[in-house]
Chain A
Amino acid sequence: MPHKVVEVSNLVKRYNSFTAVDDLSFDVYAGDVFGLLGPNGAGKTTTIRIMMDIFKADAGTIELLSQPPGAARSHIGYLPEERGLYRNLKVQEVLVYLARLKGMPGDAARQRAGMLLERVQLTDWANRKVKDLSRGMQQKLQFVASLVHDPELIVMDEPFHGLDPVNVELIRSMIQDLQEEGKTIVLSTHQLNMVEALCDRIVLINHGRPILYGELAEIKRHYAPHTVRLRTSADIAALPDMVQVERHGLDLRLTLDAAISPQLLLRELVDRNIPVEVFEVASVPLEEIFITVVKEDRHE
């Protein structure tokens, strides 16, 4: 069992009479890509800022790399939602300065900055001022700035915001590379397709409280039990044991009766000589789960 890199226990944060974070608990294990999700104003950014020791909690505890917030700064990288860099400094100067603030020696910082700039295709801009970069380039630069000191834990708030599809794919692949290197990543984003592609575990918060938490695959199974995606040219409306049949383009989404498993359905299709082009156990898109759960939470 991997060790815990982030432990959040009963976290509370209030601003006067408004409770931004309300008894929030979750853990992040080493090597995880962990999704911190929620609608606007749910308390995600506040939680992240408490983790980064920018805000202080009113109650509860947080441990990052087995230390209180602020004690392990040099091992944590942070990409905030509010983007910003030193506009009048050169690209490399910014990276080296931020790396040195994390405790990295200057020479090592310069070397690593060069390597990362190459990775995001900004090598030619190393000696240009930040203000000369386009917005997308500055976003990539800020992403790189969170990694320049080779942290163990990286916290990213909306890393894909403002990027074109090519750069979204670049950042996505870099996040996967980081995970393969053994880094732990906490990711907060509204791009749920990216969460599905990257995250192992998630917590969904609303009004500062957790309303969904755990392994992503398990959550999706929970919200889509006995559902099968089938592509066939035959008419199967007459088949028994179907609770619901929905057509989605070329595919059918079949919600099965509780008494029948997908394996039994497949056997039955074969027995009846019904041609099967695609057959898989379906899962509900995370976006649907998100909307459903948040709406249910609002009604309670």
Chain B
Amino acid sequence: MSKIDMNKITIIAQHEYLTNLRRAGFIIMTALIPLLGLIALLIGAFFGGQAMEFLSDQLGMDPQEVGVVDQTAGYFTPVIEAYQDRYHLLANEEAGRVALLADEITTLLIIQEDYITNGRVTVLNKGSGFGAAVIEDSRQARAFFVDHLLRGKVDPALQQRAANPFKIESVTLSASGEDQGGGPLGIVSTFVVPYFMGMFLIMTIFVSSGYLLQSVAEEKETRVIEVVLSSVTAQELLTGKVIGLGALGLTQILIWLLSASALSGGATALLAISIPLMERPEVLLLAVVYYMLGYTIYAILMASAGSLGTTARESQQIASVFSMAAAAPFMVSSFLFTNPNMTLARIMSWFPLTGSTMMILRLPMAEVPAVDIIVSIVTQVTSIPIMLWAGAKVFRMGLLMYGKRATLPEVIQRLREA
């Protein structure tokens, strides 16, 4: 086996970094996040509370304009004043259908005659079947029904409490039993900030490894790869590309952090965000570790995929297999909110292809068992040299197969021969 030349790896890494730094796609992607932040800031500055109310209306889970047809013995007639902005009493079902079709209302509730005994409510929506689910999940809708059922029958304070049974104050305990902050600030510092940082890290993993795929596919498609391989080994080329584009990803994160700091009031604001992170510094440190491991694994896989396709598009299709594996943790992420340490999440944390992304998602949500952290890191660290070896073999084989895509049996045979 020929010796690895670190100088050549450095030259390749520099070349990849500088070439892709100047790409229009990278500049747009890097500027997009701060730009969105700036737009949000400007909207907030000019429109203030109105903007928040608008966003809340647009993005909230409560129904918008609701028509009500009361076929009971008048429990919902008239509608309580506090609800009259959204809930409009209509004479009958026919009037309700007309209003729905004319887009005067978004949802029509027909409270049936036997509602008190059977709870029957018919929900009508135009064009979508999700209206019933929205009503069922809406706290506001639930409060509407409870308030009207208890109107005049119980103490007003009790009526209000039954309609809105709780206001949550959250306190998170560490494994040693210490309070990690309560209320909204606690949620922001222990969950929101690390979670979104984790999402940015994951995004960067895939953007950077996507550039690697593109770079390899382009070098193959333009045939320049043969000249390059006469100067460096496949392993040096692969390693240089992985390092160069990894550095590019970190540059992107740094730009986002600096712009976040600038938009939110400078270094003081950045410090204010980072102080809560220091309450769980291990989250940040582990996120960086998992970022590096996850990026390295996906970079090798993407480079190998890039070498197997005959065109850049074909390479992307081959790489989609790995993209699906990468997306798997996101498919279960909604369950992580309630049970971050569930068995499926733990298994996915131990598996090299899903370990980094799953751990980045889990870490902000709960105290992850130490065994999961150790096993996930060990499996990935031991996988990387094996993947690098196999990836370099596939990389070398695929790079010179012009006009012919390597089949899976060919790839396997090549690895066996190696």
Contact = CB atoms under 8 A, between A and B. Distances in A.
A199 to B, nearest CB: 22
A97 interface: yes
A145 B19 contact: no
A54 B226 contact: yes
A82 B226 contact: yes
A85 B222 contact: yes
B230 A84 contact: no
Task: Please provide the 10 A-B residue pairs with the shortest distance between their CB atoms, ordered closest to farther.
Answer: A84-B223, A84-B224, A101-B231, A78-B230, A80-B226, A82-B223, A84-B222, A52-B230, A100-B11, A54-B229
Interface in B272-310: none
A222 interface: no
Contacts of B7: 103
B135 interface: no
Contact of A85 (B2, B224, B229, B232): B224
Contacts of A86: 219, 222, 224
Nearest to A81: B226
Interface in A33-80: 49, 52-55, 70-71, 73, 76, 78, 80
A6 to B, nearest CB: 15
B224 A101 contact: no
Interface in A94-148: 97-98, 100-103, 142, 145-146
Contacts of A84: 219, 222-227
Nearest to B237: A101
Interface in A232-273: none
B15 interface: yes
Contacts of B261: none
Contact of B11 (A53, A87, A101): A101
A83 interface: yes
A86 B225 CA distance: 10
Contacts of B233: 53, 70
A73 B233 CA distance: 10
Interface of A: 49, 52-55, 70-71, 73, 76, 78, 80, 82-87, 89, 97-98, 100-103, 142, 145-146
26 contacts: A53-B230, A54-B230, A54-B400, A55-B400, A70-B2, A71-B2, A73-B232, A76-B230, A80-B227, A83-B223, A84-B222, A84-B223, A84-B225, A84-B227, A85-B227, A86-B224, A87-B222, A89-B19, A101-B8, A101-B11, A101-B12, A101-B228, A101-B231, A103-B8, A142-B227, A146-B227
Contacts, number: 63
A78 B228 CA distance: 10
Interface string B215-244: 000010011111111111100000000000
A180 to B, nearest CB: 25
Contact of A73 (B222, B224, B230): B230
B402 interface: yes
A101 B232 contact: yes
Given A84-B219, A84-B223, A142-B227, 14 more contacts: A54-B230, A54-B400, A55-B400, A78-B227, A80-B223, A80-B226, A80-B230, A85-B222, A85-B224, A86-B219, A86-B222, A97-B11, A97-B15, A102-B231
Interface string B372-410: 000000000000000000000000000010100000000
Contacts of B11: 97, 100-101
A57 to B, nearest CB: 13
A53 B396 CA distance: 11
Among A53, A76, A86, A102: residue with most chain B CB under 10 A: A86
Contacts of B224: 84-86
Interface residues of B, number: 22
Contacts of B15: 97
B227 A98 contact: yes
Contacts of A102: 231
A73 B7 CA distance: 14
Interface of B: 2, 7-8, 11-12, 15, 19, 219, 222-233, 400, 402
Among B19, B222, B224, B229: residue with most chain A CB under 10 A: B224
A20 to B, nearest CB: 13
B53 to A, nearest CB: 48
Contacts of A145: 227
A52 B230 CA distance: 6
A49 B401 CA distance: 13
A55 B293 CA distance: 31
A82 B232 contact: no
A122 to B, nearest CB: 17
A85 B223 CA distance: 7
Nearest to B12: A101
A87 B11 CA distance: 19
A208 to B, nearest CB: 18
Nearest to B233: A70
Nearest to B396: A54
Contacts of A49: 226, 400
B314 to A, nearest CB: 17
Contacts of B400: 49, 54-55
A145 to B, nearest CB: 7
Nearest to B400: A54
B243 to A, nearest CB: 15
B338 to A, nearest CB: 49
A234 B225 CA distance: 62
Nearest to B226: A80
A173 B26 CA distance: 44
Nearest to A70: B2
Among A55, A80, A86, A101: residue with most chain B CB under 10 A: A101
Contacts of B8: 101, 103
A83 to B, nearest CB: 6
A101 B219 CA distance: 15
Contacts of A103: 7-8
Among A49, A54, A70: residue with most chain B CB under 10 A: A54
Given A82-B402, A101-B11, A73 B226 contact: no
Contacts of B231: 73, 98, 101-102
Contacts of A71: 2
A179 to B, nearest CB: 21
Nearest to B225: A84
Among A55, A78, A87, A100: residue with most chain B CB under 10 A: A100
Contacts of A54: 226, 229-230, 400
